[in-house]
DNA sequence: CCCCGTCGTGGAAACGTTTCCACTTTCACC
DNA sequence: GGTGAAAGTGGAAACGTTTCCACGACGGGG
């Protein structure tokens, strides 16, 4: 319990050799005799020697740390992904510095400045809009290796891991179509601030267009309490034939179900609701939420693996978007479109496909 | 866009002065004339100079980084707290290195080793069991300032921020008692691995003992699918008069509601269910979950503030447990105990107290 | 007019590491 | 028994910063 920690010098002294030898032995980074090897290891053990990472990083110019920037940890989707990054990084001896930007461009910028000041070796991030993100531009300018998650950037010169939001939304659209939903609406929060929402709406609308149907209504709502109810009332006034809602994420989908109930409509008897993300709680509620289950955790760990491998080879992660498999999970909140409103009861209820398991991360 | 970043030396050269002067000016850490002050600032601006944190930390022996260790980010409770830590830390110029231990003692240890190797200035953590946590002991031995969150350690020589789990559970117990629930059970996952669960059971049982009632049944369940159903079936066989369940956290409470439904019992008509934590989704589901709303975010930021202040004064955070206010949120999942089972329908339904708002973090 | 604070300044040492380089030592081989 | 290569070694420089200290200039009071 010395007042200050032992340094490589102390080890050298105790082992009776030079510090260079100690460094070589402890790092396996050069020739060393069996004799000195043993002495050094014994000395290090006895002193409980640990490298000082500052000295190390200062000399080697790498921090063994990767920065993470996400909009928020309150959305379980990002929390899962961060956990994935952290675990995958730990396996390779990398640490994670965490920042969050709360969907705010300015905060994104200052957070990135912090990360860069800490000399992170690379960054994994989700931004509001890849095309005009300041944070992303900073990374490019400073030539810091990075990998996007969740975002699916349009320009192909950046590395990214995500799911194909457009395709996923197409599948939702197709399912709804097959179940007879001819009039559907898309509900989103902060539509303007999320490229994912936009992609999802696009894929969804595409299917409806393909079948010659009217473009789904777009409901952009606020977090303000009551806002959702008002939007839904408006919707049912302008489009009373609406039989399905597609929400841009699961939390919002749950909020929709609650709002519908307060308007005297029940799910799925009167209206079907589909979410997006596949958060854990979606399977616990009643009715079970129909949703697109995305591999958030795997997204994080995959991105971390890509980044770490690139760092070890002293290069950039491979450019281009990697799309991970997702899965349509048919919950109880989705059913056949009610043909006609018969006394507020559902007409038929198809045998719901059993909720399939997510495939394990690999 | 030079190949390597400008150093303090480059700034000194451009400004025509020594590096000591540059350091003094940029850190406001010593006398300097107006003239040199201006020249240095101009030079730093022109070169877009940023301090190298490694050199800085190596010399000053502080990293301006705090380590965080939590069981998992998948539980929104911890995600919120981590977010709180991160935001509060950022305000004071501190960064956060994140690790998670997955409720595993061994992982806890290695995670702590990583944090210590990175020379974090302090640590904020939640451990499985404060009394025999290796990680916690390491912190004490190495004299690294730290602050627990969520945990409520029995020994008073450690700093901690949390809620009074025992008292909160007493309140739940009292509410249940007042609503006529004479036979209740406590449901927990990994009871042995969480001191919080134990505290909650203790407070709950205490109230029942006080009223001369039988000690609530303790159901310890697994995450394995189906396990909860089996446990509940057993419960209703041994204690058919059970009218209420108190779950050790909200996710589990939701799982209970679902399991009960699959057993043909409805909530709250047949059985009342109360959770713990107050996660956001608890308010969205039907029935709204009765729960203890805890200020997770505030817990994180409060701990961060304590720790940062202590670090700045070069001392340890104040020992003792700080208990933050919590709140009983009376959701729809809790109602009067059914007097007798009359045709599977509830007897009465009291006007549910409106779900009160959480007071904002302060 | 000299002395002595005060102020601003820059050289240099230190923080703990990696790594280059030059120096032994060893040993196989002719 | 010389020669050469190969293997092991430690001194020392460098990484970028903070900070101690010594030095010169400058001014006010005796």
Tell me the residues of chain B between 118 and 147 that have a Cβ less than 8 Å away from chain A.
118-119, 141
Residue A76 has phi, psi (to 5 degrees) of: -55, -25
**pLDDT at residue B133 greater than cutoff 50:** yes
Considering only CB atoms, which chain A residues are within 8 Å of B55?
Answer: 58
Q: Between the CA of residue B310 and those of B44, B210, B319, what are the distances in Å?
A: 32, 41, 11
User: Is B214 within 8 Å of chain A by CB?
Assistant: no
**pLDDT at residue B282 greater than cutoff 80:** yes
A32 CA – D9 C1', rounded, Å? 8
CA distance B13 to B9: 6
What lies within 8 Å, CB to CB, of A43 at 6+ separation is A11, A14, A15, A22, A49
Q: Does residue B97 sit in helix, strand or coil? A: strand
Q: Is the CB of A143 under 7 A from strand C?
A: no
CA dihedral B82, B85, B88, B92 (to 10 degrees): -130
CA dihedral A122, A125, A131, A136 (to 10 degrees): -30
Closest CA to A79 of A63, A96, A104, A93: A96
Q: Delimit the CATH 3.40.50.2300 region(s) of chain B.
A: 65-163+296-323, 165-293
* pLDDT confidence of residue A3: 58
**Mean pLDDT of all residues in B281-292:** 95
CA distance B298 to B323: 11
Q: Shortest CB distance from B74 goes to which of A72, A83, A141?
A: A83
**Mean pLDDT of all residues in B334-358:** 52
* pLDDT confidence of residue A202: 96
Q: At what angle do helices B76-91 and B296-312 cross, to 10 degrees?
A: 30
* pLDDT confidence of residue B339: 56
What lies within 8 Å, CB to CB, of A46 at 6+ separation is A14
Instruction: Say if residues A287 and A267 touch (Cβ distance below 8 Å).
Output: yes
Looking at chain B, how many residues does it have? 362
* pLDDT confidence of residue A353: 44
Closest CA to A248 of A183, A188, A327: A188
CB spacing of B97 vs A100 below 8 angstroms: no
DSSP string, B207-261: HHHHTTPPPPEEEEE-SSTTHHHHHHHHHHHH-TT--EEEESSHHHHHHHHHHHH
Q: Name the nt closest to B10 by C-alpha to C1'.
A: D16
Write the burial class of residue B265 (CB in 10 Å: 0-12 exposed, 13-18 middle, 19+ buried): middle
CA distance B64 to A235: 51
| The CATH fold of domain B8-51 | 434 Repressor (Amino-terminal Domain) (1.10.260)
% of chain B with per-residue pLDDT over 90: 82
**Mean pLDDT of all residues in B201-211:** 96
A71, closest residue in chain B (CA to CA):
B83
**pLDDT tens column, A155-180:** 889 999 999 999 999 999 999 999 99
Selected residue with higher pLDDT from B239 and A349: B239
B359 C-beta neighbours (distance < 10 Å), count: 11
Q: Between the CA of residue B104 and those of A109, B47, B192, B244, what are the distances in Å?
A: 36, 48, 12, 31
Q: Delimit the CATH 3.40.50.2300 region(s) of chain A.
A: 65-162+297-320, 165-293
Whether the link from the prior residue into B287 is cis, omega within 30° of 0, is yes
Q: Is the CB of A60 under 7 A from strand C?
A: yes
Low-confidence ranges of chain A (pLDDT < 70): 1-3, 339-362
B95-100 and A272-274 strand pairing: unpaired
Q: Which long-range contacts (CB under 8 A, 24 or more apart) does B308-311 make?
A: B308/B66, B308/B88, B308/B89, B308/B92, B308/B94, B308/B122, B310/B122, B310/B145, B311/B62, B311/B66, B311/B94, B311/B121, B311/B122, B311/B145
* pLDDT confidence of residue A333: 96
* pLDDT confidence of residue B362: 34
Q: Does residue A42 sit in helix, strand or coil? A: helix
Looking at chain A, how many residues does it have? 362
CA distance B3 to A142: 10
* pLDDT confidence of residue B226: 84
Q: Which helix (H) or strand (E) holds B124?
A: strand B122-125
| The CATH fold of domain B65-163+296-323 | Rossmann fold (3.40.50)
**pLDDT at residue B67 greater than cutoff 60:** yes
CA dihedral A335, A340, A342, A344 (to 10 degrees): 50
Give the architecture-level CATH label for domain A65-162+297-320: 3-Layer(aba) Sandwich (3.40)
Strand partners, B345: B342
CA distance B167 to B184: 18
Q: What is the CATH number of domain A165-293?
A: 3.40.50.2300
Tell me the residues of chain A between 286 and 305 that have a Cβ less than 8 Å away from chain B.
286
CA distance A81 to A96: 12
CA A48 to chain centre: 39
Q: At what angle do helices A19-27 and A8-15 cross, to 10 degrees?
A: 100
Instruction: Say if residues A353 and A179 touch (Cβ distance below 8 Å).
Output: no
CA dihedral B255, B258, B260, B266 (to 10 degrees): 130
Structure tokens at A147: 């990998």
Q: Between the CA of residue B325 and those of A215, B76, B130, B195, what are the distances in Å?
A: 49, 19, 22, 19
Q: Which nucleotides of D are covered by protein (CB under 7 A)?
A: 7-12, 14-20
Selected residue with higher pLDDT from B156 and A248: A248
Provide the shortest C-alpha distance from residue A84 to chain B (in Å).
10
**pLDDT at residue B359 greater than cutoff 80:** no
**pLDDT tens column, A290-331:** 999 999 999 999 999 999 999 998 889 999 999 999 999 999
Give exposure, B113-135, as e/b (b: 16+ Cβ within 10 Å): ebbbbbbbbbbbbbbbbbeebeb
Over chain B, what is the mean pLDDT?
A: 90
**pLDDT at residue B351 greater than cutoff 60:** no
Q: Is the CB of A33 under 7 A from strand C?
A: no
* Helical residues (DSSP H) of chain B, grouped into ranges: 8-15, 19-27, 34-47, 53-60, 76-91, 105-117, 134-141, 165-178, 195-210, 227-238, 250-262, 296-312
Q: Delimit the CATH 1.10.260.40 region(s) of chain B.
A: 8-51
CB spacing of B99 vs A87 below 8 angstroms: no
């Amino acid at each position: 319990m010395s007042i200050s920690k032992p340094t490589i010098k102390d080890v050298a002294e105790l082992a009776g050799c030079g510090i260079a030898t100690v460094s070589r032995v402890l790092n396996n980074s050069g020739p060393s005799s069996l004799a000195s090897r043993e002495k050094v290891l014994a000395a290090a053990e006895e002193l409980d020697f640990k490298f000082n990472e500052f000295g190390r990083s200062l000399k080697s110019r790498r921090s063994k740390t990767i920065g993470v920037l996400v909009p928020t940890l309150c959305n379980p989707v990002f929390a899962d992904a961060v956990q994935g990054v952290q675990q995958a990084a730990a396996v390779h001896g990398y640490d994670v510095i965490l920042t969050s930007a709360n969907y705010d461009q300015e905060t994104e910028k200052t957070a990135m400045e912090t990360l860069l000041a800490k000399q992170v070796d690379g960054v994994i991030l989700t931004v509001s809009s890849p095309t005009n993100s300041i944070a992303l531009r900073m990374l490019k300018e400073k030539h810091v290796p990075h990998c996007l998650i969740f975002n699916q950037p349009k320009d192909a010169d950046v590395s990214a891991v995500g799911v194909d939001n457009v395709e996923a939304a197409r599948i939702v659209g197709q399912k709804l179509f097959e179940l007879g939903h001819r009039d559907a609406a898309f509900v989103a929060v902060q539509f303007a601030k999320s490229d994912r929402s936009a992609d999802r709406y696009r894929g969804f609308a595409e299917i409806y267009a393909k079948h010659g149907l009217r473009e789904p209504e777009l409901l952009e709502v606020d977090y303000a309490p009551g806002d959702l109810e008002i939007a839904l009332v408006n919707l049912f006034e302008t489009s009373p034939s609406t039989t399905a809602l597609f929400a841009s994420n699961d939390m919002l989908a749950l909020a929709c179900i609650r709002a519908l109930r307060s308007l005297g409509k029940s799910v799925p008897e009167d209206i079907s609701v589909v979410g997006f993300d596949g958060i854990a709680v979606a399977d616990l509620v009643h009715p079970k939420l129909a949703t697109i289950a995305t591999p958030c955790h795997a997204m994080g760990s995959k991105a971390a693996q890509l980044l770490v491998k690139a760092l070890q080879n002293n290069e950039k992660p491979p450019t281009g978007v990697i799309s991970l498999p997702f899965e349509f999970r048919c919950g109880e909140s989705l059913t056949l479109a009610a043909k006609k409103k018969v006394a507020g009861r559902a007409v038929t209820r198809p045998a719901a496909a059993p909720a399939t398991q997510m495939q394990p991360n690999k």
